[in-house]
Structure 1
Amino acid sequence: MTGSKAFIAAPAGLTLSGEERRFFEGERPWGFILFARNIESPGQLADLVASLKDVGSRETTPIFIDQEGGRIARLRPPLAPAYPTPAAIGALFAADPKAGERAAWLQGRLLAADVMAYGINADCVPCLDVPVAGAHSVIGDRAYGTNPDTVATLGRAVADGAMAGGVLPVMKHVPGHGRGNADSHLALPRVDTSRAELAKSDFAPFRALRTLPAAMTAHILYTDIDPVHPATLSPIVIDSVIRMEIGFDGLLMSDDMSMKALSGDLYDLSVAALMAGCDLVLHCNGDMDEMRRIASAAQPLSGDAERRAKACEAVIAQGAETAALETLRSEYADLMSRVG
């Protein structure tokens, strides 16, 4: 990863254009992220992933995807099986905690197998947000439950399953998106809850899983903590809450910098996120002009950010543990059949 810069980029289409290849080779993003627009067929996807790793010049170049199960699934049948929602795992856990925790581990392990079939080695799971009544539905059934301990237990199992499958997990959206009153893809959510109350609920799953290797920020304004800057851009939230109170010392990446929750020039926003304490900025829409602004703000990884990035690549380098996947799939299906 020598010389890799502090951003994650996304190709625009099914293959790398000549312009994209030259840009990625010159600007050296640390990793890449894929979306439905990048996926057409098994061979095409495997070739695209191989091209991205070639551009990244190392087998452990992180290739991210959002594959949670339920409605957040970039890979869909026939390229990968469909899975129940995280909320369905939570329902099983409520009825039978041992079975629910096992199903969560299995879902993490099977999601890893699905993405690794194409060379994808990083999955943006688990979602550790704790939704509350009246919040926007953007989280909804993506959550494992409304109890922080349940979310932490099942999130840990999913993450452990992913790592057993050789895939880097990314917990999200730290320090908690469950109270958001808007979809941050479209507008900036505002949370007026006191910091003390947030610490008891929203922060709790992240604190319990603080030793995981990577996390993604929430584009949310927590008015009792920093009334001016959303978490991604807030030195107060990142240092005082994420690093100190939660105790997370892993790799911290922003949520997508092109989301409408953030307003302003992408160069300025990226500088602000990195100065606030994000290790990496994430850019997802594949727009070349925007990527150039992001890349011009990002510097080569160094210091703690480089240390954390290397630790994430070490997770990827471990590869998958040997497993009888069809046996695991059968066990998972049997467990989840108990949920109506």
Structure 2
Amino acid sequence: MSWLGDFDDEDELYDESDVRVRPNPKANRPRTKRRPAHDDAVIGRVLGVDRGRYRVLLDEGDEGEHEITASRARELRKTPIVTGDRARVVGDTSGDEGTLGRIVGIEERTSLLRRSADDTDVVERVIVANADQMLIVVAAADPPPRPRLVDRYLVAALDAGIRPLMVVTKTDLADPSEFLAHFAGIDDLRVFLSAPGKWPIAEIGDALVGSSTVFVGHSGVGKSTLVNALVPDADRATGHVNEVTGRGRHTSSSTESLRFRSDAGSGWVIDTPGVRSFGLGHVDPDNILRAYPDLDAVAGDCPRGCTHLPDAPDCALNEAVAAGSLPSDRVQSLQMLLETFASRDDPWDR
């Protein structure tokens, strides 16, 4: 007798109709990429970021202007949200203690200032959004000025569509004329000179009215001191320069937007941490020459496809240096940047 003898047929043996299957609502739920429209979202200015929490200013300029704390919506986890962003916020936007709003979107940016770890790294770090000016702070001495770092700031500003300004501090310690001669060809670069107790606050303040200005500079140049002079309640930490290394100590540890007010009007000061390097790996190489308008004009006489490097045949820049009509150190600064980009893999082909 077969062991199947207790069953009328084989189908009865494999009948599983009475097996109970535990439901899985999560697995059975239809997947969708649709997100809520958040028509009730309000728009605010991101003032700063601290450990995943965002300080956002709502009702800017109105009687009800107030700050709130907000988190980032899950769908924005891969979207950088930075100081200066115009954020769309939902949830509790009262700003009361213990409340938390939620950022669900970012408005289109008018500018984006970025830097990379070095010139060969195309992974960018977003510094600030929607700035229209960059104030480069440089010390005439202690620490000594670094013209090639300033060149990098200027290239980054041009790439972002931001207007550059410059403040030279500590002019009581050294004459900045030789340093400033490096930038004599940039006609629209406005420069302010300052010394301890002789800050041109009124003149700098007039340039800040109606704008969002990002402050950048090497550690120890007096950037935080200048910010505190312009925004008395900023309370930004200040440091000193190490006598052995000649380097400044990092004082500003985060990027923060501060409201500037004067009799002439108001604006925004965006203070950033001091940096000793400013990588341009993210920059379009075509923008490098444009950051040197005086050299760009001369380069118009170069043959098509000229690399403008020291060994470039019939290069108008090299010929002008040989003739003494262009300063060699300025052309060399441009060529050092161009050589860096020429030696790396082209990120735009990746």
| Fold in common (TM above 0.5) | no
* TM-score, structure 1 normalization: 0.35
Larger-gyration structure (1/2): 2
Structure with more contact order per residue of length (Cα contacts < 8 Å, sep ≥ 6): 1
Higher helix share: 1
